A and B are shown apart, each in its own frame.
Chain A
């Protein structure tokens, strides 16, 4: 018996040592060498990064931003840098960046101090809020209306944490909390009557709603329980690459490309119309640090 444990332990140890990330040199060097940037995209974060069933590829606001990033990288290295896409989930997005499977996750990840402990983040590029998708005829208007309701949220999301926190503090008492793996699964649970309301960021909920056959059957409630600033995930201690991602964001704001993309995905005729608030517009203008043409060149 003891021998058995010992050999099992050694096997585990060997696994750890072998599975360490193979990261030689900085991300920028690797991109130059291989001509590829490894991108992590979500599968169902509409309109930021999701798989369009019609083309079978990742599309969305953040995916287009990744396109800009690759363009700038191509200019930097004087050769075509291609995007190698990987699908990540709420659960895997941080580990996959940390262990080097992808160089950057570009989706709709909330920037939190806790996550900052293990990974680095780009500049904040969007603000959303944790709220709830409900059937239009449900009559849910306030947080108190959610007492006794069955609530769904995705594993590992900040939304789930926000709900659990409120429940712990006694702010409201749901009948049950169902943890799902992906947002489309949450929508399925909502539609099949497993849960009464589904919770994630408002923009994503609007995305799920618009993708449904009957978008008018659902609505997001007016109140929110937490705020979610979005940023892209990069590895720690990799500032050259992180600067490059930030410069791409800032440059896109300065050149107006950012607003074109916003219009395309979240404008009135976009996939998920989300009005740009004045505060958000001001924020975007204010983060533009002095930057000029040719910033992508190596100094």
Chain B
């Protein structure tokens, strides 16, 4: 006895399996992008809340980050999908449960909210790396608190934290695979479907692996361009 597995790489492009992988990739990209938009917008907001002068806002920002980043994403998606609708009362929850593609929406929102907590921490780190004198310099020009963040501190901090944001951007796409557990037919789901149909899971998973790799490298290349474009003059470059 030994390795009795026979490789059949043809499943990757044979009809309909190649199509399944492409469809899965489409959903992976769509969910990843949508979640990333939520994560970026909310993450910048929450990150800013964490350093404002107002104690209540600060408290809210900290609570959000600690709750969202300390619970495994898998558990969060499960919660949003199965228990989430119940938070809206019985009649509304019945309506929500009938939304078609509910699991896709839940995964976009769930992954978005989770990633926002991580982005918020990077944003906070960005703020922290800006010297106190800079804040004072801005305020001395007569800007208000909000103007200070809007026009100086946030743009500055965001440029500083592009490298860690690249990692988060990549992680969003990888995390979409968790949406499989609530029945979203993304890339990993499709590779498992191919496995169930043909028992050539090794090839399907390898195929999915390379697709993720190419997707990830594309994101990295894109972010490198962004990084170069928004490099802060005068800081140490590569």
When each residue 206-241 of chain A gets 1 if its CB lies under 8 Å from chain B and 0 otherwise, what string results?
Answer: 000000000000000000000000000001111000
Given pairs A91-B196, A161-B197, 15 additional interface contacts (CB within 8 A): A4-B217, A8-B213, A21-B3, A23-B1, A23-B2, A91-B192, A91-B195, A118-B199, A156-B196, A160-B196, A189-B82, A192-B83, A193-B93, A194-B82, A237-B1
Which single residue of chain B is at the shortest CB-CB distance from A158?
A: B196
Q: Which residues of A contact B103 (CB under 8 A)?
A: 178
Flag whether B181 is at the interface (Cβ < 8 A).
yes
B4 touches A236 (CB 8 A): yes
A95, B3: Cα distance in complex, Å: 12
When each residue 10-48 of chain A gets 1 if its CB lies under 8 Å from chain B and 0 otherwise, what string results?
Answer: 001000100011010110000000000000000000000
Flag whether A117 is at the interface (Cβ < 8 A).
yes
Flag whether B144 is at the interface (Cβ < 8 A).
no
A188, B197: Cα distance in complex, Å: 26
Please judge, given known A-B contacts A155-B192, A192-B82, A237-B4, whether A114 and B199 are in contact too, CB under 8 Å. Answer: yes
Chain A residues engaging chain B, CB cutoff 8 angstroms: 1, 4, 8, 12, 16, 20-21, 23, 25-26, 91, 94-95, 98, 114-115, 117-118, 150, 155-156, 160-161, 175-176, 178-181, 188-189, 192-194, 235-238
Please judge, given known A-B contacts A26-B1, A98-B4, A181-B181, whether A12 and B209 are in contact too, CB under 8 Å. Answer: yes
Q: Could you pull out 7 A-B pairs where Cβ atoms are within 8 angstroms?
A: A12-B206, A117-B199, A118-B199, A175-B100, A179-B189, A235-B1, A238-B1
Which single residue of chain B is at the shortest CB-CB distance from A118?
A: B199
Q: Which residues of B contact A176 (CB under 8 A)?
A: 100
A98 touches B196 (CB 8 A): no
Q: Is chain B's interface secondary structure helix, strand, loop, or mixed overall?
A: helix
* A/B pair count, beta carbons within 8 Å: 63
Which single residue of chain B is at the shortest CB-CB distance from A27?
A: B1
B52-104 interface (Cβ within 8 A of A): 81-83, 85-86, 93-94, 97-98, 100, 102-103
Q: Which residues of B contact A94 (CB under 8 A)?
A: 199
Which single residue of chain A is at the shortest CB-CB distance from B7?
A: A16
The smallest C-beta distance from B209 to any residue of chain A, in angstroms, reads 7
The smallest C-beta distance from A243 to any residue of chain B, in angstroms, reads 15
The smallest C-beta distance from A240 to any residue of chain B, in angstroms, reads 11
The smallest C-beta distance from A147 to any residue of chain B, in angstroms, reads 15
A235, B4: Cα distance in complex, Å: 10
When each residue 27-57 of chain B gets 1 if its CB lies under 8 Å from chain A and 0 otherwise, what string results?
Answer: 0000000000000000000000000000000
Which single residue of chain B is at the shortest CB-CB distance from A237?
A: B1
Which single residue of chain A is at the shortest CB-CB distance from B1?
A: A23
A178, B81: Cα distance in complex, Å: 12
A193 touches B1 (CB 8 A): no
**Nearest 3 pairs between A and B by C-beta?**
A156-B196, A179-B183, A193-B97
Q: Which residues of A contact B201 (CB under 8 A)?
A: 95
Q: Which residues of B contact A179 (CB under 8 A)?
A: 183, 185, 189
Chain B residues engaging chain A, CB cutoff 8 angstroms: 1-5, 81-83, 85-86, 93-94, 97-98, 100, 102-103, 181, 183, 185, 189, 192-193, 195-197, 199, 201-202, 206, 209, 213, 217
B199 touches A115 (CB 8 A): yes
The smallest C-beta distance from A232 to any residue of chain B, in angstroms, reads 18
B183 touches A192 (CB 8 A): no
Q: Which residues of A contact B83 (CB under 8 A)?
A: 192
B183 touches A98 (CB 8 A): no
Q: Which residues of B contact A118 (CB under 8 A)?
A: 199
Interface centre among A26, A150, A156 (most CB of B within 10 A): A156
The smallest C-beta distance from A10 to any residue of chain B, in angstroms, reads 13
Q: Which residues of B contact A238 (CB under 8 A)?
A: 1
A117, B103: Cα distance in complex, Å: 34
A94, B83: Cα distance in complex, Å: 32
A12, B3: Cα distance in complex, Å: 17
A98 touches B213 (CB 8 A): no
A156 touches B192 (CB 8 A): yes
Please judge, given known A-B contacts A117-B199, A178-B103, whether A1 and B4 are in contact too, CB under 8 Å. Answer: no
The smallest C-beta distance from B231 to any residue of chain A, in angstroms, reads 22
Q: Which residues of B contact A193 (CB under 8 A)?
A: 85, 93-94, 97
Q: Which residues of A contact B195 (CB under 8 A)?
A: 91, 156
B183 touches A178 (CB 8 A): yes
Q: Which residues of B contact A95 (CB under 8 A)?
A: 201
A160, B86: Cα distance in complex, Å: 27
Q: Which residues of A contact B196 (CB under 8 A)?
A: 91, 155-156, 160-161
Q: Which residues of B contact A91 (CB under 8 A)?
A: 192, 195-196
Q: Which residues of B contact A180 (CB under 8 A)?
A: 183
A150, B100: Cα distance in complex, Å: 10
Which single residue of chain B is at the shortest CB-CB distance from A99?
A: B5
